[in-house]
Amino acid sequence: MDRFSPPSLIVPVVLSLFAAIFLSLGYNMPPNSVIRTLFVAIGVVLSGAALFTGADWLIWKLGDHIKRLRESWYAPVLSLATAISIMNREQLALMGAVSPFRVEGRLSVNGVQWWLHTIQGDIPYGWISGYLEKCALSYPQFEPQHGYSDTLNRDYIQWFTGLMVSNNMAERSVGNRPARWTVPLDVVYQRLGLDE
């Protein structure tokens, strides 16, 4: 076996077999004989070698399994990065327009304001933080919109609820019951980048 080939399971199995043979022969010999001591010693050495080579194979197998898990975990991100790397500006703009989460910074008199893009319209991040704090009090239900007299706040709630439902983080409202969260609010904060 060279240093680049994976360890084989055959080696620890064969060593274990020979260790078992030597140990059983040694224990069947007459007590206090030199041959018994020799057979038991050889069996112990072979058992240790089998244990060492078996552990080597197990560690290699575990490392290979972890490597495959990492590859499968990062495969979608890598394929997306590959696809993005060959796009031109128009294709990137189109992809940004249909992305489920897009944040946009807008310069105002007070500095940069951040907005979350939804299909219906953009929602300021400051409003989202306040709304999520209210939702924490009524969790697992959303803060109902019927308590707001301002139509802009009602629109924000509808847009935000639609975005959360389309991303499988909430269920739509039914009748007079408000929408319900299907994930913990910590997950929502994390997905929106508000978890700091």
What DSSP element (H or E) covers 138?
Answer: helix 125-138
Does an H or E element contain 113, and which?
strand 111-117
Does the structure show a pLDDT above 70 at 74? yes
C-beta separation of 132 from 125 below 8 A: no
Instruction: Specify the pTM.
Output: 0.45
* Predicted local confidence at residue 105, as pLDDT: 64
Residue 76 tokens, joined: 């979608």
pLDDT class of 58 with cuts at 50, 70, 90: very high
| All structural domains of the chain with their residue ranges | 10-86, 100-192
DSSP 147-196: G---HHHHHHHHHHHHHHHHTTSEE--BTTBPPEESS-HHHHHHHHT---
Report, as an integer, the average pLDDT of 66-90. 76
Helix (H, G, I), strand (E, B) or coil at 108: strand
Mean pLDDT comparison of 9-13, 87-91, 94-98, 146-150, highest-scoring range? 9-13
User: Closest by alpha carbon to 102, among 85, 87, 121?
Assistant: 121
Count CB atoms within 10 A of the CB of residue 70.
10
Average pLDDT over residues 172-186: 82
